[in-house]
Chain A
Amino acid sequence: MHIASDRLRSKLSEIELRHLNQCAECNSDYQLLTQLTDSAENSDLINPPDLVWQKIQYSMANKHQPQKTVWRQLSVLAASIVFAGFGWLVVNNYQLQSQLELVLQVNQNLELQLFENKLPSYRQTQLLNEVRLLESRLMNASSTKEKLTLLKRRQKLIADMVKSQQGNQYEFSI
């Protein structure tokens, strides 16, 4: 039985030394391992290029500044939110504006129909007063939404006026 390679590197016992003198294979392994260890110990050390240390310094400096990246990401996120919010406001304002224009157009049409009738009835006069009241409120209204609501009410009132002017289907003029 041969000596384990682990043992050949350390200090050998008397029995192992006796075996080494008798066994040529173990002896040559022992010699070779000793030569290899000696050659490794006598080898010159190789100096790494300076570039490696520069890279280590650079990597360390970058690793120790993680907060900068977080702040950058947060500011990008905040800017995106502000930009998206501004865009939403513009679109919303445009939609309100177009609705307002549409309502104004309908109101104008209804008014034209109304003025065709030269002798208004009591009910029509009542509705007309309500329309004037709404118009004065419309003049003082500040927000677009409020204006839109008032205009819609005005549109409804004028439509009522037109309807009362035309009379019901079963009514006939004499």
Chain B
Amino acid sequence: MQEWNDNLIAGMKSGESVAFEQCYRILSPIIYTAILKICRNRECANDLLHDTFLDAFDKIATFNNANSFIAWLKRIAFNNTFNYLKKEKRKFQLINTSEDTNIEVKTIAESHGDNNLINKLMASVPTAHRVILWLFIVEQYSHDEIAVLVNKSASYSKSIVSRSLSKLKAQAKEMENAYC
């Protein structure tokens, strides 16, 4: 597998198509996984991945080499995802209730302790909350950073995280009691 190197940025800035492709091959699985876990729909994730890379390649000249490229790319991806979810809120509510979800959902008891715990959490919360939870838990954004991205207050983000964790704990307790 190819590895990331900073020469790729110089290559992309000078318009080398090989550099663009290499950048995509290396970073697309990371971005795609994040987008797919948030929106939980493959078609939508494909579109958002396309838009993210296209935006990044278009604005590559404005990228400051002192910053991390992957962090910059992720920021574009999350902005696009959040805007898309905001626009398609109604549509997504319909998709979420349909059977066409590609991520396997397990019970809380099964998820605890294994690597699907994050999937379970993402499956149990509304679409708009998923962005906040992913940014907080996986991307390690602070509540202030999340507030800027989602255009809400830091306390809103705090309350979403707190409520979701409480819900997950309550469900786990319920399942444990049921087994006992």
Question: A46-B33, A52-B46 given as contacts; is B54 within 8 A of A35 (CB)?
Answer: no
Q: Which stretch of B65-73, B76-84, B110-118 is in the interface? A: B110-118
Whether B24 sits at the interface, judged by CB under 8 Å, is yes
Whether B92 sits at the interface, judged by CB under 8 Å, is no
Docked pose: A152 CA to B92 CA in angstroms = 80
Do A55 and B50 touch (CB < 8 A)?
Answer: yes
Whether A33 sits at the interface, judged by CB under 8 Å, is yes
Whether A37 sits at the interface, judged by CB under 8 Å, is yes
Do B138 and A63 touch (CB < 8 A)?
Answer: no
Nearest to B25 among chain A residues (CB) is A53
The one of A32, A48, A63 in contact with B29, judged by C-beta atoms closer than 8 angstroms, is A48
- Judged by DSSP, the binding face of B is helix
Whether B107 sits at the interface, judged by CB under 8 Å, is no
List B contacts of A173 (CB < 8 A): none
Q: How far is the CB of B26 from chain A (nearest CB, A)?
A: 11
Question: A43-B33, A56-B50 given as contacts; is B113 within 8 A of A35 (CB)?
Answer: yes
How big is chain B's contact interface, by range? 35 or more
Do A9 and B161 touch (CB < 8 A)?
Answer: no
Do A36 and B121 touch (CB < 8 A)?
Answer: yes
List B contacts of A56 (CB < 8 A): 24, 50, 53-54, 57
- Judged by DSSP, the binding face of A is helix
List B contacts of A60 (CB < 8 A): 20, 54, 57
List A contacts of B140 (CB < 8 A): 9
Question: Which of B50, B114, B140 has the largest count of A CB atoms less than 10 A from its CB?
Answer: B50
Within 8 A of B (CB), among A1-56: 4-6, 9, 28-29, 32-33, 35-40, 42-43, 45-49, 51-53, 55-56
Whether B143 sits at the interface, judged by CB under 8 Å, is yes
Do B112 and A35 touch (CB < 8 A)?
Answer: yes
Number of interface residues of A (CB under 8 A): 29
The one of B21, B28, B30 in contact with A52, judged by C-beta atoms closer than 8 angstroms, is B28
Do B142 and A6 touch (CB < 8 A)?
Answer: yes
Do A45 and B158 touch (CB < 8 A)?
Answer: no
Q: How far is the CB of B124 from chain A (nearest CB, A)?
A: 12
Do B50 and A33 touch (CB < 8 A)?
Answer: no
Docked pose: A36 CA to B133 CA in angstroms = 10
Q: How far is the CB of B119 from chain A (nearest CB, A)?
A: 8
Docked pose: A29 CA to B172 CA in angstroms = 13
Question: A28-B169, A32-B169, A37-B137 given as contacts; is B54 within 8 A of A47 (CB)?
Answer: no
Nearest to A29 among chain B residues (CB) is B165
List B contacts of A67 (CB < 8 A): none
Docked pose: A42 CA to B113 CA in angstroms = 12
Nearest to A4 among chain B residues (CB) is B158
Do B54 and A59 touch (CB < 8 A)?
Answer: yes
Q: How far is the CB of A31 from chain B (nearest CB, A)?
A: 10
Binary flags per residue of A60-75, CB closer than 8 Å to B gives 1, else 0: 1001000000000000
- 4 tightest A-B contacts by CB? A45-B29, A39-B117, A48-B32, A42-B115
Extra contacts besides A39-B119, A48-B28 (6): CB < 8 Å: A6-B143, A39-B116, A40-B138, A42-B115, A46-B32, A56-B24
